[in-house]
Each structure stands twice: as C-alpha cells, then as structure tokens.
Structure 1
C-alpha cells in the first residue's frame, strides 16, 4: 500500500510540474496574457510620398523601410499605390521598397503603413553584430593637424568607446574650438557635424555610422531625426550628435542607416514625404497571436485558438468540465455533501448556462417532483427496470414540452430553454432519488436532492466564470495541475467537515 501511495504522489508531482511548466512557458516565453481584458498599445505609422511625375518617363521610387532587427516587433506592413508594382529588397542593414510604373502623369501619391508593438524584440541584440575596426582616412594638410589636435584631449578624457564618442561630440559642438570650426567650415548643421564626427572617429579606428530614427508620438507630423551609432563588440551604442546624449530613447524606432535620403525618385520631382504616427489599443491575446504569426512561429499550431470558431466555442465548455468535477470531488470528499453521483451535478450545472440558476432550480425541482410521483405509482405496477425508465423518460419529455409551451404563452422565454436540460440525466436522477427514498426515507432523499442542486449551482458558477474560462482555454496545461490535485484527493481518508459537525457532541463528551 505504501508503494501505491508513493506512486500516486510521484505521479501527481510530475503532472503538476508539467502543467505548471507548460503554463509558465506560454505566459513568459510566448507573452500570452493571463487575462482576456488586458489591452496593450500598438503604434501605426503612416508614410505618404507625394511627387509630380514627369510625362512619358518611367517612374521608380525607392524608400528605406525599418529593418528586421528593430527592437520593436513588426505586426504588419502594407503598401498602397495605384498602378504601381512594389518589391522589397533586403540589404546588409536596411530594407528598401521599390515602387515602379511604366508611365505616370501629374501628382502621384504612395502610401506605406507600419504596425508595430513596443514589446521587446529579442533578436535586436542577438542577430546584428557590427564592425569593431575602421581604417583611418588619408588626411593631408590642415585637416590632418586639426584632427590630431582634437584626438589628443579626447583620448586623455575618455576610458572606453562610449566616453570617447561623447567627448568627440562635445568638442565638435564647441563653437569656441578653432580646430572643430576649421573641420566644420563654420557649417554647424546636423548633417555636417555628423560628417565631421565620422571623420574624427575613423581617424581613431572607431567605426561609426549614421542612423535615422522616427519618434513614436500621436498626432505629430515629423521628419526622421539623425543619430550616430557604434559597435563596442557587445552591443550598439547610440548617440545624439546634436546634444551628445547616450542611449536610444524608448519612444524611437530606427528606420534606416547610412547617409542616403529616405526616399529617392527617378522620373519625378517636387518630392514630399510626410510621416505620422498614432497609438491604438489591441487585445493582448490578439496581439500575442499576431506576434507569433509575424515570427512564423508554429507554437500556436498546438493552441486551442487554431481550431475553427465553432469548435472553440464547444471546447470552451468542455474544458471547464474538469473544474466542475474537481469541485464536486471537494464537496463530497472534504465537505461531505451528498449528491446524485459525480457527473450529474456537473451536467445539471451545464444546463444552467441557458436557463440561469433560478429558473434551472425551479425546473429541476418541478420535473423531479412530478417524476417521483410517477415513479412511486409505477412501483405498484411491478414493471421491469427498462420499462419503468422508458415510461419516466417519456413523461419527462412531455413535461418539458408542456413547460416550454406554457412558458411561451405566458411570455416567459426561459421556459423555452427547458429543452436544453438533459432528458436522460433527469430520468436517471428521478430513478436514483426514488431508490434513496425507498432505502433511506423521504427526508434523506430530499437532502440528497438539495445537495445535488447546491453542487450544481456552485459548479455552474465556477464553470461560467469568464476569467476562468479564458485562463483554462488559453492555458490548457492547467488541467494537468487539476488532475494532480484529483490524484492527491484520491487517497484522502480523513474526516469530512460534515462528520466533524455530526460528532461534535461526542468529542465534547470525550473531553
């Protein structure tokens, strides 16, 4: 016996660990929310390209797109252009979209929409290494002298690549520094300062490149902002060449790298680019599913959400049955409530989904009372069990039909849902109640019937609680945890609460 108990305990622990691990993996690895009401922000960035086409000239528009290594996860992107073909090319660090048309006249408009989430993209740091060394440019004359003069204090005041670049930016933005002014040629525009910064760092064999970013802000029309970045051997370091601030802000997305413009047009002029972003809220479960689809993941193939919608609605009910069964197990083995079997209260609780609890109790009590009367009458006829059950079943159907018709005539729509009560369950409940009546008396039969209704009501409340329906349907591994709990209760031999109350007087007398 000890070996069997140990076997059950080990099995329960294994099932609990598997169920808990499966649920934890879905929550933490797949980022599936634990609540159906959770919503998360999603950004929609709209880019409009407008230009005037040159008559009788082929049109080719090239636009940089956000790279696949962005720290944000792209959910969807779409291209809208009338009479244009579009192709997407993957470059070393960039992606480009190319619109093309044989002929176009007048004003032209092209649209690009990007939808992304600010959830962290783990590929951002793992799949995009960069160069760590760069050949110094061949400088001559005063430029060489100015660069060497600037590098000397930078080396003295820096300890690593990060501080080196920040010191370089500080000197370039210093309008009183003659060497910086010479290299800038009195042109303190952001593009020119980025050029000089790149020249200065290249002379120190530090690779650096331009990155163009877009800020995530609702209702603001904006232009890409220029930043600089360098790879330190472990991660990319981002710097603002205007202010020298370090680290890319959380509300910015890298759009493309390099010194070329965002959009180039062949066969057109008067180019204009507008970028607008808006924030929307999306249900978290929909967002998690979209992320897996965007990553081409197969993890959702084993999810209940991969089933057809009608099957999903069916399994939402089926998966809740173990919760009702577990409740009945607790009520019978721990509390000590007597019911008509284990599954009868659960099935009655399922019927309450349509009739609601109050109407369901009234209908169950009424039909059971009438059925008990008929069963008592049939007992005097000495019928065989099969014939007796057949008569009771037919009587139950007739009563259900009469209640439905009467309810419809009285305008009580709940009376129509009586047909959803399982006829066989009602028939067997009447038969069991009558047997209990004969063996234990009418009072005990009423007690068992009352316990069945209480258990069915509690089971219905648990199986119809929306947060639990979502959690069990989304994380079916939790059913293994329930199974482990059921196994643990299988060897419970202690007193029930009802028995403690029952023998309370004996305990006092013993003391």
Structure 2
C-alpha cells in the first residue's frame, strides 16, 4: 500500500511540474498574456507618395521599407495603389518596395501602411558583424591639411571608436573651429555635417554609414532623422551627428541605411512623401498570435487558437469541465456534500449556461417533481427498470416540449432554453432520487436534491468565470495541474467537514 501511495505522489508531482513548466514557458518564452483584457500599444505608420506622371509613360516608384532586422516587430504591412503592380526586394541591408505601371498620366497617389509593435525582435542584434576597416580617401591641398589638423586632437582625446566618433562630432559642430568651417564650406546642414564626419572617419580608417530613422510620435508629420552608425568589432554604435549622443532612443524606427533618398520616381516628377504615425491598442493575445504568424512559429500551430472559430468555442466549454469536476471532488470528498451521482451536477451546471442559474433551478426542480410523481405512480405497476426509465424519459421529453411551447406563446425565452437540459441526466436524476426516497426517506432525498443544485450552481459559476475560461483555454497545461490535485485527493481518507460538525455534537453530548 505504501508503494502505491508513493507511486501516486510521484505521478501527481510529475504532472504538477509538467503543467506548471508548460504554462511558465508559454508566459515567459512565447510572451502570451495571462489575462484576456491585457492590451498593448501598437504603432500604425502611413506613408503617402504623390507625384505627377508624364503622359502615357511607364512609371516606376521605389521606396525604402523598414528592414527585417529592425528592433521592432512588423505585424502587418499593406500596399495600396490603383493599376500598379508592387514587389518588394532586398537591396543590401535594406528592403525596397517597387510600384510599376505601363501607362499613367496626371496626379498619382500611392499608399503604404505599416503596423508594428515595440516588442523585441529576435532578428535584431547590435552584434551583427559589420565592416571594421575603411579605405582612406585621397585628399589634397587645404582639405588634407584641415582633416589632419582635426584628427590630431581627436586621437589624443579618444580611447576607442566610440569616443573617437563623439570627439569628431564635437569638433565638427564647434563654430569657432576654423578647420571645421573650412570643410563645411559655410553649409551647416545636417547632411553636410554627416558628409564631413564620413570624411574624417574614413581618413582614420573607421567605417561609418548613414541611418535614416522615423520617430514614433502620434499626430505629428514625420520627417526622417539622420543618424550615423559604426561597428566597433563587437556591436553597432549609433550616433546623432548634431549632438554626438550615442544610442538610438526607444522611439526611433530604423527605416533605411545609405545615402539615397527615401523614395524615387522614374517617369514622373514632383514626388512628395507624407508620413504619419498613430498609436493604437491591440489585445495582447491577438498580438502574440500575429507575431507567431509573422515568425511562422510552428509551436503556435499546436495551440487551440489555431483551430477554426467554431471548434474554439466548443473547446472553451469542454476544457472547463475538469474545473467543475475538481469542484465536485472537493465538495464530496472534503466537505461531504451529497449529490445525485458524481458528474450529474457538472452536466446540470453546463445546462445553466443557457437557462441561467435562477431559471435553471426552477425548471430543474419543476421537472424533477413531476418526474418523481410519475415514478411513484409507475412503482405500483411493477414495471422492469428499463421500461420504467423509458417511460420517465419520454415523460420528461413531453414536459420539456410543453414548457418550450408555452414559453414561446408567453414570450418567455427561458422556457425555450429548457430544451438544452440533458434529458437522460434528468431521467437518471429522477430515478436516483426516487431510490434515495425509498431507502432513506423524503427528507434525505430533499437534502441530496438541494446538494445537487448547490453543486451544479457552484460548478456553473466556476466554469463560466471568464478569467478562468481564458486561462485554461490559453494554457491547457493547467489541466495537468488539476489532474495532479485529483490524484492527490484520491487517497484522502480524513474526515469530511460535515462529519466534523456531527462528531463535534456527539462530543458535546458526552
């Protein structure tokens, strides 16, 4: 016996650990939310391209798109155009959309929409290898002298690539430095400062490239912001060419790299780009599912969310039955509540989903009372058990049909829902209650009937509790946890709560 108990305990512990581990893995690895009401912000970026096409000429429009290695996860992107074909290509480290049309004339508009989330992208890595050496440009005359004059203090005041670049940016933006002013040529635009920075760093054999970003701010017209980046042998370093600040802010999205503009048109003129960003909220479970679909995560294919919607709705009900059974197990084995059968209260509780508890209790009590009256009458006819049950079942069906018809005539929708009561369960409940009545009296039969309704009501409340329904459906590993608890209660031989009250009265009597 001890070996059996040990076996049960080990099995229960194993099921508990597996259930908890699978749930924790879904929460912390797959980032599945623990609540159905959890929402997360997502960003929708709209780009509008407008231009004038040359009459009856082929048109080709190219626009850079955010790369796959962006630190944000792309949920969806769409291309909207009329009479244009669209393709996406990978050009170096960039992605590019290409709209094309054989003939176009007049004003044209193209639209691009991107939805992304700030969740970390597994493809994003600051340690992705990059170039570590750059050929020095050939300089002559005063330009060569100015570059060498700037590089000398930069080398003296820097210790590594990061500090070297920051010192270079600092000197370029210093208005009193004659060498910087010479190289800038009185052109203090950000684009020209970036050119001079590239010149200085290339002369020091430090590779650097331009990074164009957009800022995630709602209701503000977006203008691409230029940053510079360089690979120091371990990771990519991002710098603001105006301030020298190192590191991209969290609200910046890398759109493309290089010297070329965001978009270009062939066969048209007066190209204009308008970019706007808006923040929205999205249900976290839908967000997690969208991310899994974008990543083609095969583990999500094993999720219940991958089933058709109708099947999902069915399993949302089925998966809650073990919770109702667990409650009945506690009520019977620990508390000592007597019911008609083991799973009868659970099935009645399921029927309460449509009738609601109040009307369900009334209809169940009414039909059971009529069935008991018929059962008492049939007892005098000395029928066999199977025949008696068949007659009672038919009587229950007739009563349910009459209640449905009367409910429809009187405009009572709850009367129609009586058809959802399990007929066989009602029949067996009537039979069992009549047997209890004969063996232990009407008072005890009434207690058992009341206990059944109490258990059915509690199980209904448990099985229809929305947070529980979501949690079990999303994390089915919890069923293993319930199974381990059922195994642990299987060897419970202690007093029930109702028995403690009984023996307490006996002790007081002594």
TM-score in terms of structure 1 length: 0.96
Q: Structure 1's 405 and 194: CA in aligned 2 closer, same or farther, altered over 3 A?
A: same
Given that residues 69 and 127 in structure 1 are in contact (C-alpha distance below 8 angstroms), is that contact kept between their aligned partners in structure 2? no
Deviation at 1:506, TM superposition (A): 4.2
* Structure 2 residue 499 is matched with structure 1 residue 499: yes
Whether contact under 8 Å (2:66, 2:254) holds in the other structure is yes
Q: Secondary structure at the match of 2:243?
A: coil
1:246 CA drift (Å): 1.7
Structure 2 residue aligned with 1:391: 391
2:3 aligned with 1:3, yes or no? Answer: yes
Corresponding residue for 1:93? 93
2:382 equivalent in structure 1: 382
**Aligned: 1:104 with 2:124:** no
- Is the 2:339–2:451 contact (alpha carbons within 8 Å) kept by the matching residues of 1? yes
Residues paired across the two proteins, number: 510
Partner of 2:252: 252
Query: 2:350 touches 2:460 (CA, 8 Å); kept in 1?
Result: yes
Equivalents in 1 of 2:445, 2:400: separation in Å?
23
Distance change >3 Å, CA 188–CA 459, structure 1 → 2: same
- Give the C-alpha shift of residue 507 in structure 1: 4.7
Deviation sequence 1:390-421 (CA, Å, 0-9, x none): 11111111221222223233332211111111
Residue 208, structure 1, aligned to residue 208, structure 2: yes
2:419 aligns with: 419
Separation in structure 2 between the aligned mates of residue 20 and residue 234 of structure 1, nearest angstrom: 38
Q: 1:143: Cα distance to partner?
A: 2.5
Indicate the residue corresponding to 1:262 in structure 2.
262
1:502: how far off? Answer: 1.3
Distance, in Å, in 2 between the alignment partners of 1:156 and 1:9 is 70
- Shift, 1:241, TM fit: 0.6
Instruction: Find the counterpart in structure 2 of residue 467 from structure 1.
Output: 467
Structure 1 gaps of 5+ residues are: none
SS of alignment partner, residue 115 of structure 1: strand
SS in 2 for 1:364: helix
* Offset, 1:156: 2.8
Q: Distance in 2 between matches of 1:502 and 1:134?
A: 90
**1:87-236 → structure 2 map (5 Å cutoff):** 87-125=87-125, 128-236=128-236
Other-structure match for 1:335 = 335
Q: C-alpha separation between the residues in 1 aligned to 2:334 and 2:304?
A: 33
In 2, Cα distance between the equivalents of 1:263 and 1:368? 76
Residues 1:480 and 2:480 aligned together:
yes
Offset from partner CA, 1:270-318 (integer Å, 9 cap, x none)? 1111111112222221111111111122222111111111111111111
Deviations 1:138-192 (A, max 9, x none): 3333323322222222233333322222121111100011121122122111001
1:210 and 1:229 in contact (8 A); partners too: yes
The aligned counterpart of 2:285 is 285
**Residue matched to 1:25:** 25
Further displaced range: 443-452 or 395-404: 395-404
How far the C-alpha of 1:102 sits from its partner, in A, is: 2.2
Q: Separation in 1 of the partners of 2:481 and 2:126?
A: 35
- Structure 2 distance, partners of 1:138, 1:215, is 37
- Three-state SS of the structure 2 residue aligned to 1:70 is coil
* 2:60 is equivalent to residue 66 of structure 1: no
Structure 1 stretches (4+) deviating beyond 4 angstroms? 506-510
| 8 Å Cα contact 1:58-1:104 kept in structure 2 | yes
CA offset digits 1:104-159 (Å, max 9, x no partner) = 21112111111111111121017843222223223333323322222222233333
Whole-angstrom distance in 1 between the partners of 2:343 and 2:243 = 71
Work out whether residues 300 and 306 of structure 1, in 8 Å CA contact, stay in contact via their aligned partners in 2.
Answer: yes
Separation (CA, whole Å) in 1 of partners of 2:393 and 2:126? 67
Question: Cα distance, 1:509 vs. partner?
Answer: 7.0
Which residue pairs with 1:359 in the alignment? 359
Q: What does the per-residue CA deviation read over 1:193-245, in whole Å, with 9 as the maximum and x for residues that have no partner? A: 00111111222222211000111112211221111111223322111111222
Report the TM-score when normalising by structure 2.
0.97
Residue 127 to residue 392, structure 1, CA distance change in 2 (3 Å): farther
Aligned equivalents of 2:371 and 2:109: distance in 1?
76
How far apart are the structure 2 equivalents of 1:102 and 1:404?
Answer: 67
Aligned to 1:259, the other structure's residue is in SS state: coil
Answer whether contact 2:44 2:115 (CA < 8 A) is retained. Answer: yes
1:480-511 deviation per Cα after TM superposition (whole angstroms, max 9, x unaligned): 1111111111111111111111111345578x
- Please list the CA deviations of residues 350-381 of structure 1 after superposition, one character each: whole Å capped at 9, or x if unmatched: 00001100111111111111211221222222
Structure 2: gaps (5+ residues): none
Cα distance in 2, alignment partners of residues 453 and 245 from structure 1 = 69
Q: How far apart in 2 are the matches of 1:509 and 1:382?
A: 45
What residue number does 2:294 align with? 294
Separation of aligned partners in 1, 2:448 and 2:495: 19
